[in-house]
């Protein structure tokens, strides 16, 4: 509203984590009784527009000490550039430095946003509202019913759909009835059907639903200070998802002669998108947008680079190879057949990830080595085995940068 209605002069954002005050030899929080995860901002605006819609304003983010307002390191934002980053929501990316502003502009460039490419995102079941459908692992062991896994965010990692095991299971027939009702509601709404028209629809008993396909899924919770913020994988068919995992919609429904028909997404697109989402390039980019959650709006604003057929084929071969290596308990034979790719042999996981990172950064988003080096330098969080792996990927990508 501020950007659309007034002229923004300055925007300064503070964290409530506290700052060190030498004279007291203590760390001081600006608001002691407020949780340190909260932020607050100081905003300066003109109530009237000056020079139309094109202008610039000063900003600083992640401040902790009030004295930081008076030192240098101010970032000058161009309102037109902000609209390139976020044309619909006009949200402001919180850059820590001028360098971040420069690199993110390079990544965004003229690439289309995810929202421009016809992809839709969705969540399936709510962990609270749909909890009546969930059965524990103990219940499953006592029952002979055909219950399917419920995936949660912690069950996936990058290219890994078996990162941990399921806590809950759902009866397929019960879940299918719930999901089919939602599908039919969307069909009625999208086609603006009357009650009579809707009641006369012919719906095949075996109508394909999303849960029956390979799906691109990502963790809906991801902080800008996590080891990696953007974590996605391909989820196998015949599983369900809780709200901590969002997924790409694979199936589009249409009507022909009063009968419900459908088309599915090309799995090659899913492999390609998974590779982009797991890349350090887009992980770095989205970190400048998110705080604690990867809302769908943030994803719809992600710049998606296009690749020619040869490059996309190589990216997909690397993606399927990593999926096979890391998701050891998952059968991806159907995905391989649909995608028409061959798994790569003779290379380690680290080698394949490093190659994938270079291809995406260098050839899809046109980053220079200096910019890539800077992007890599921002991944300093974490302390687990996956962080050790990440450090090895970064090291090898720098060594091999000029070889690809």
**Which of 72, 92, 112 is the C-terminal boundary of a domain?**
92
Longest dimension (CA), the chain: 79
Quick: pLDDT tens for 150-161. 999 999 999 999
167, 228: one domain? yes
- Mark which of 44, 75, 92 sits at the end of a domain: 92
Q: Counting every residue, how long is the chain?
A: 404
Residues 80 and 156 in one domain: no
Residue 108: its pLDDT value, please?
Answer: 94
Compute mean pLDDT per 10 residues along the chain, 404 residues long, and list them: 76 85 81 84 80 79 85 83 81 86 94 94 95 90 86 95 94 95 96 94 95 96 84 96 96 95 94 97 91 86 95 96 91 92 93 98 98 95 85 96 93
Q: Among the residues of 86-194, which ranges form H helices?
A: 98-108, 137-142, 172-190
Q: Residue 113 and residue 116: Cα distance in Å, rounded?
A: 5
Together in a domain, 246 and 353: yes
Residues 313 and 381 in one domain: yes
Structure tokens at 174: 């019960």
- Those residues whose C-beta lies under 8 Å from the C-beta of residue 257, and which sit 6 or more positions away, are none
Q: Which helix (H) or strand (E) holds 8?
A: strand 7-15
Clarify whether residues 379 and 244 are in a common domain.
yes
Write b or e for each residue in 279-293: b if 16 or more Cβ atoms lie within 10 A of its Cβ, otherwise e. bbbbbbbbbbbbeee
Position 52 scores a pLDDT of 61
- Please indicate, yes or no, if residue 13 is contained in any of the structural domains: yes
Q: pLDDT value at position 234?
A: 96
Where helices occur in 200-307 by DSSP H, the ranges are 267-278, 280-287, 296-300
Separation between Cα atoms, residue 55 and residue 51, nearest integer Å = 7
Q: Looking at the domain assignment, is residue 110 inside a domain?
A: no
Structure-token pair, residue 364: 């899809």
Helices (H) and strands (E) in the chain, counts: 14, 18
The pair phi, psi for residue 292, each rounded to 5°, is -130, -20
CB 4 within 8 A of CB 20: no
pLDDT the model gives residue 51: 60
Residue 220: predicted pLDDT: 93
Nearest to 124 by CA among 152, 154, 166: 152
CB–CB of 41/94 below 8 Å?
A: no
306/211 same-domain check: yes
| Contact call for residues 291 and 224 (beta carbons, < 8 A) | yes
Both 209 and 75 in one domain: the answer is no
Tally of structural domains, the chain: 2
Q: Are 47 and 41 in contact (CB under 8 A)?
A: no
What pLDDT score does 145 carry?
A: 79
Domain membership flag for residue 396: yes
Domain-located, residue 115: no
Neighbours of 76 (CB within 10 A): 10
- Judged by DSSP in three states, 401 sits in helix
pLDDT given at position 174: 94
Quick one: 382 and 274 in the same domain? yes
* Whether residue 131 is found in the same domain as residue 37: no
As a whole number of angstroms, the distance between CA 159 and CA 157 comes to: 6
**Of residues 153, 66, 107, the one with CA closest to residue 282:** 107
Residues 300 and 234 in one domain: yes
Q: What is the pLDDT of residue 360?
A: 98
- Boundaries of domain holding 21: 2-92
Single pTM value for the model: 0.88
What pLDDT is recorded for position 149?
A: 95
399 and 309, same domain (yes or no): yes
- The Cα 215–Cα 249 span in angstroms is 8
79 and 213: one domain? no
Domain boundary among 92, 109, 133: 92
């Amino acid at each position: 509203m501020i950007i659309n209605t007034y002229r923004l002069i300055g925007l300064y954002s503070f964290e409530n984590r506290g700052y060190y005050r030498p004279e007291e030899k203590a760390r001081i929080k600006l608001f002691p009784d407020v949780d340190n995860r909260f932020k607050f901002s100081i905003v300066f605006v003109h109530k009237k527009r000056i020079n139309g819609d094109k202008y610039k304003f000063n900003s600083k983010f992640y401040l902790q000490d009030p004295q930081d307002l008076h030192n240098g390191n101010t970032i000058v934002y161009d309102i037109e550039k902000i609209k390139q980053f976020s044309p619909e929501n006009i949200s402001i990316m919180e850059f820590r430095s001028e360098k971040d502003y420069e690199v993110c502009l390079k990544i965004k460039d003229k690439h289309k946003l995810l929202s421009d490419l016809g992809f839709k995102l969705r969540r399936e079941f709510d962990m609270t509202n749909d909890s009546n459908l969930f059965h524990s692992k103990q219940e499953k062991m006592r029952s002979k019913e055909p219950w399917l896994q419920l995936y949660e965010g912690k069950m996936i990692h990058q290219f890994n759909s078996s990162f941990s095991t399921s806590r809950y299971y759902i009866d397929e027939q019960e879940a299918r009835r719930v999901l089919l009702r939602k599908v039919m509601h969307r069909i009625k709404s999208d086609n603006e059907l009357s009650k009579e028209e809707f009641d006369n629809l012919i719906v095949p008993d075996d109508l394909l639903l999303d849960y029956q396909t390979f799906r691109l899924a990502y963790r809906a919770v991801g902080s800008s200070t996590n080891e990696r913020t953007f974590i996605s994988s391909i989820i196998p068919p015949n599983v369900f998802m809780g709200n901590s995992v969002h997924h790409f919609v694979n199936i589009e429904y249409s009507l022909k002669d009063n009968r419900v028909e459908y088309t599915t997404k090309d799995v090659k697109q899913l492999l390609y998108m998974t590779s982009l989402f797991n890349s350090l390039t887009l992980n770095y980019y989205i970190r400048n947008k998110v705080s604690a959650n990867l809302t769908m709006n943030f994803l719809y604003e992600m710049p998606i680079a296009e690749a020619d057929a040869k490059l996309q084929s190589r990216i997909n071969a690397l993606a399927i190879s990593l999926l096979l290596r890391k998701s050891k308990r998952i059968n991806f034979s159907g995905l391989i057949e649909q995608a028409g790719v061959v798994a790569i042999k003779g290379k380690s996981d680290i080698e394949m990830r490093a190659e994938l990172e270079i291809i995406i950064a260098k050839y899809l988003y046109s980053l220079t080595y200096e910019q890539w080096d800077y992007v890599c330098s921002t991944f300093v969080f974490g302390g687990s085995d996956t962080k050790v792996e990440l450090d090895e990927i970064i090291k090898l990508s720098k060594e091999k940068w000029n070889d690809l």
